[in-house]
Amino acid sequence: MKLTKSDRIQGGFWGLLVGDALGVPYEFHPANEIPPQSDIDFTPPAGFHRAHASVPPGTWSDDGAQALCLLDSLLTCGDMNPDDFANRLLEWYEKGKWAVDGYVFDVGNQTSEAIRAFRAGTPSTKAGFVRPNGKGNGSLMRVLPLALWHQGTDADLIEDAHLQSTVTHGHPCNQVCCALYCIWVRRVLSGMQAEDAYLDAVSTLRDIYSGHSTYLQELEWEIRPDEEPHSEGSGYVVDSLRSVRLTISQGSYEEVIKAAVALGNDTDTNAAIAGGLAGVRDGLTAIPEKWMENLRGREFAEPLLKKLLDLSGEG
């Protein structure tokens, strides 16, 4: 069955949130402590020491909440407005905006520092440089909605992906990872096979970065996009990007995000990033029904998705 754009957008939207929620209880555990993939579920096997033990199964974390903050900002402003987005992140940080139950239980150190800097008066597009050499995955984990929403050129999407990142993660490496992922998602959204889409995205960035040595250097020498992917499941942004390429070939949506969790360490974020792309590739119906039914917070995220579909002409 040929997937429609609506199928793919819904798959990506829910795929990110489900992947995030699936990874939450396994966070901080090394790969050798993760249960067999057949046993990975919202509720881990008996005896497994859950991270965030007070958080009910099926709850998305900072990844999902920040992605919803970004989408909310895009739909409200009609463009990538860093001031508005930073204010929404601050509202999430202080008041639990778009967090399930309004409860913020997981915040990356670099993100926290940037939000506090913004609160103290640092301009939104400078806040992400408070840790100049920081290369965490906090801007990559939430960028998917930008690719689902965007209707401009590839160059415009890349520029906005950079801008989105600078709010919390300003290093050019972070910006390039976000841009590569966005173009990759855009190609898959158009129906291209995942690996072909990745290679096309790399080629597109090389063309657009040809006159910008800093971004091109990060692409070629930090990300090294032509190398065979490997990942330790860490919070290093390049590791997270590689984990997507490593796991997207594992099979179905379910197999992809379980493989991302099986890498250990930053399980929620890596499953969210991989789950977003796998959801775009496979569509909404590929997400197991039991996970959709048990995903907490669906009812207040659904109106955002409807607005996105309406805007894209797929409502």
Q: Which helix (H) or strand (E) holds 217?
A: helix 213-217
Residue 315 has pLDDT above 70, yes or no: no
How far apart CA 297 and CA 254 sit, in angstroms, is 20
Categorize the per-residue pLDDT at 108 as very low, low, confident or very high, splitting at 50, 70 and 90: confident
pLDDT of the residue at 314: 75
Query: How confident is the prediction for the chain on average, in pLDDT?
Result: 96
Paired with 136 in beta bridges are 236
Tokens, residue 240? 């997270």
Residue 10 has pLDDT above 90, yes or no: yes
Range of the domain at 162: 5-311
pLDDT digits (tens, 9 = 90+) for 65-99: 999 999 999 999 999 999 999 999 999 999 999 99
Residue 285 has pLDDT above 70, yes or no: yes
pLDDT digits (tens, 9 = 90+) for 41-68: 999 999 999 989 999 999 999 999 999 9
84 is in an annotated binding site: no
Q: What is the pTM of this model?
A: 0.96
Q: What is the DSSP letter of 236?
A: B
61 is in an annotated binding site: yes
pLDDT digits (tens, 9 = 90+) for 125-162: 999 999 989 999 999 999 999 999 999 999 999 999 99
pLDDT digits (tens, 9 = 90+) for 200-248: 999 999 999 998 889 999 999 999 999 999 999 899 999 999 999 999 9
268 is in an annotated binding site: yes
**Into how many domains does the chain fold?**
1
Of 283, 222, 236, the C-alpha closest to 108 is 236
Mean pLDDT confidence for 273-297: 98
234 is in an annotated binding site: no
How far apart CA 126 and CA 108 sit, in angstroms, is 18
pLDDT of the residue at 30: 96
The CATH number that applies at residue 245 is 1.10.4080.10
73 is in an annotated binding site: no
Categorize the per-residue pLDDT at 38 as very low, low, confident or very high, splitting at 50, 70 and 90: very high
160 is in an annotated binding site: no
Enumerate residues 6+ apart whose C-beta is below 8 A from 159: none
Residue with tokens 């790399």: 202
Of 138, 144, 76, 89, the C-alpha closest to 110 is 138
| Cα separations in angstroms, 295 against 30, 125, 152, 234, 301 | 25, 33, 32, 25, 11
